[in-house]
Structure 1
């Protein structure tokens, strides 16, 4: 039975969103298309069950099959990333970061992360976020070239001696020097947290460097390049966890990070995990363990490089002059538009991006100087370098004719003709 027979009002919105995803170019780098198998798990009867605690240590009865599913997800995560321990219960990336900080810090301790306007994330110490409300936050930035200034970070760390150093961003198109960051923070006896939410699929596939072996704790979402449901994971090495019992006197916290993490997630922050989400994460990790996933990740990088090069050829100014990963930032003001204006014009042409601040931006984050775009969702559809070159042409035409509704409508028709060749979710209707 279709949802439209019982709730036509909701079904109308769902079908409209389905049509938008099918017919447009989804270029927000944090978005992707999950498989039908992930959708099946998300819509399963597992949403009915409560399961506070951890496998074999639950506060509710009837969890023997839930335990099987969570154990499967954990083992797949450990195998995929090459770590000793995985907690797959965080509801998303922000709760995962909150739990990681909670596991290591007391209120008032100093944490350090990348400034939001330079590409960082809210939970890495931005002033309005919990991470700056309950902890002392120090922010680092990039150099004038948009690249991380590791000398600046080292100087700040030596001066401020943070308990935690965050690495990771929402809008940084280059790779990280994990060994150097680890050395910098460990010299002041601090902890290194690598937030790989954006790059986790690329790291899992082995197409870009991994922080495993350098970071004390790794946090990630399960969507974005990993191509799974909304969710979070915390990864680390260390001795087997005893999540419902605190560390014993004399035990070294660095050797028992799994215990600290698990206790921070539950009972520290959350109650019962979302079991339908856990199952969907298990599906996602199983897909990422297949050889085809590496081919997919490699194509993400090829597409990003092709798109970046084509945009530069069209006269666009890209932050750091290119990309090493799945995303890129365009300084839209160099083409006469604000980030908000560019986002709205591209949307009319069937191309979805998001407005974004760029390093040293003097404009408001509500109408900044840039846009952020990426290739994960396009690559999931099967698009390759040829399509990236055409997309760059369309983006350039949108900038040249941002106020011409006829031109934008014509580009939208061309976009739909292309997406029709790379269909998604043909079997879905609400």
Structure 2
């Protein structure tokens, strides 16, 4: 284990990480590449300050010295409202998972039933992990929404389940979202359940929603959207809560703070604001290219004998592909093995042991287009099948990623330049 005795040690270790990642082909769907300008704003003085406030009273700060922090935070809220077409915005969650926890705790009472996407169907595993805490296991009940083999929500079964069990909260969305759920149809068919809240976990697709290429769940009528400010969205790590309805928004916000978060890590805000401005300018083109790359990668893998989930449905409408590698080994063995060859993937978190998730956000930001997916697929297929040596695989990865050492769909320059957007 490396020890850090001084800042030179720190810098050396950090440089090792940067050099290592520069040689990697990153297909992790939950990661992205923030531009140097966005990342430079993380050095803001905001990182040492407190901006605590009540949910619907952001102007009444608990700490003094918030004059311009408040102004900046409200301006960032306005950007979020514009980009995501929301009326109410909360940026206090320091992650998408925390935003989801607040949604569950705010919209349910002890003993209530929650429907969510199971981990086996690439859900985020929100309520399930919460119930590993004993008193939450005793107070929150959970059932899983039905999905078919193509990772599409089974509408008739879902409606039957909702009618039968009358859940208090239904959470759509997850970590393996290939297609938009028909939320509006389901809500129209269950309007008689006027005490049921509908939420959407947009953690993976926030960037595609912002880019206008994936259905906005707010347009479909959900009460709450929660999610991450990274993943397909190329901002700093963090979370957010969005709504067009005051009551559920207040309930969730009041569950979030002060129980789950007080100081909400203000250093994220300038970098997030910069990424929002980037998305306003480049987001539509970026998001379209992300999906084009994912679909082409799916088709090229299919040609090479890799089983791609939902091939008959066009592979995906998002940044994600799911592949079944069972005939070549377990998903964990393959993903960890390819990591040694500088190919970064994520498996199915120990569920089936046969699926791997791929994502195209970072390689798209690095400048790859559809034709480059031929080389990506060839490298990946040969690696999964073990057709070439690790040394040759690493050489091919280095040659490919070496052609894409810059970025697209973002602001050039440094933070010292004018931040007028």
> Kindly tell me: are residues 140 and 129 of structure 1, through their superposed partners in 2, closer, same or farther at Cα, counting changes over 3 Å?
farther
SS at structure 2 position matched to 1:219:
strand
Determine whether 1:333 maps to 2:326: yes
Corresponding residue for residue 345 of structure 1: 337
Deviation for aligned residue 1:60? 0.6
Deviation for aligned residue 1:15? 1.5
* Aligned partner (choices 82, 88, 91) of residue 88 of structure 1: 91
- CA deviations on 1:12-37 (whole Å, 9 max, x unpaired) are 33222211221111101010011222
Corresponding residue for residue 419 of structure 1: 401
Aligned residues: 397
Deviation for aligned residue 1:126? 4.9
Instruction: Work out the CA distance in 2 between the residues paired with 1:293 and 1:196.
Output: 16
> Kindly tell me: are residues 126 and 142 of structure 1, through their superposed partners in 2, closer, same or farther at Cα, counting changes over 3 Å?
farther
Corresponding residue for residue 253 of structure 1: none
Corresponding residue for residue 205 of structure 2: 199
Corresponding residue for residue 273 of structure 1: 264
Determine whether 1:308 maps to 2:298: yes
Instruction: Work out the CA distance in 1 between the residues paired with 2:189 and 2:45.
Output: 47
* Aligned partner (choices 228, 237, 241) of residue 235 of structure 2: 228
Range with bigger deviation, 393-402 or 81-90: 393-402
Instruction: Work out the CA distance in 1 between the residues paired with 2:119 and 2:249.
Output: 29
Corresponding residue for residue 396 of structure 1: 381
Deviation for aligned residue 1:185? 4.8
Instruction: Work out the CA distance in 2 between the residues paired with 1:13 and 1:156.
Output: 52
Corresponding residue for residue 318 of structure 1: 308
SS at structure 2 position matched to 1:230:
coil
TM-score of the pair, normalised by structure 2: 0.89
Deviation for aligned residue 1:133? 5.5
Determine whether 1:218 maps to 2:218: no
Deviation for aligned residue 1:103? 2.0
Instruction: Work out the CA distance in 2 between the residues paired with 1:78 and 1:327.
Output: 26
8 Å CA contact 1:124–1:166 kept in 2: the answer is no
Deviation for aligned residue 1:204? 1.1
Instruction: Work out the CA distance in 2 between the residues paired with 1:399 and 1:53.
Output: 50
> Kindly tell me: are residues 51 and 96 of structure 1, through their superposed partners in 2, closer, same or farther at Cα, counting changes over 3 Å?
same
Determine whether 1:166 maps to 2:171: yes
8 Å CA contact 2:131–2:140 kept in 1: the answer is no
- CA deviations on 1:105-142 (whole Å, 9 max, x unpaired) are 11221111011111111114457556755411111232
- CA deviations on 1:284-321 (whole Å, 9 max, x unpaired) are 2122111x221111100110010000001111111222
Determine whether 1:47 maps to 2:53: no
> Kindly tell me: are residues 330 and 133 of structure 1, through their superposed partners in 2, closer, same or farther at Cα, counting changes over 3 Å?
farther
Range with bigger deviation, 214-223 or 8-17: 8-17
> Kindly tell me: are residues 145 and 132 of structure 1, through their superposed partners in 2, closer, same or farther at Cα, counting changes over 3 Å?
farther
8 Å CA contact 1:300–1:376 kept in 2: the answer is yes
8 Å CA contact 2:94–2:239 kept in 1: the answer is yes
* Aligned partner (choices 347, 359, 372) of residue 355 of structure 1: 347
Instruction: Work out the CA distance in 2 between the residues paired with 1:12 and 1:37.
Output: 23
For the aligned residue pairs, the C-alpha RMSD in angstroms reads 2.3
Instruction: Work out the CA distance in 2 between the residues paired with 1:127 and 1:81.
Output: 28
Deviation for aligned residue 1:90? 0.4
Determine whether 1:111 maps to 2:81: no
Determine whether 1:378 maps to 2:371: no
Gaps of 5+ in 1: 240-255, 358-363
After TM superposition, where is structure 1 displaced by more than 6 Å over at least 4 residues in a row? Answer: 425-428
Instruction: Work out the CA distance in 2 between the residues paired with 1:204 and 1:15.
Output: 33
SS at structure 1 position matched to 2:307:
coil
* Aligned partner (choices 269, 273, 277) of residue 286 of structure 1: 277
Corresponding residue for residue 13 of structure 2: 13
8 Å CA contact 1:111–1:125 kept in 2: the answer is no
- CA deviations on 1:36-55 (whole Å, 9 max, x unpaired) are 22212212211111121153
> Kindly tell me: are residues 71 and 296 of structure 1, through their superposed partners in 2, closer, same or farther at Cα, counting changes over 3 Å?
same
Deviation for aligned residue 1:205? 0.9
Corresponding residue for residue 141 of structure 1: 146
Deviation for aligned residue 1:393? 0.5
Corresponding residue for residue 177 of structure 1: 182
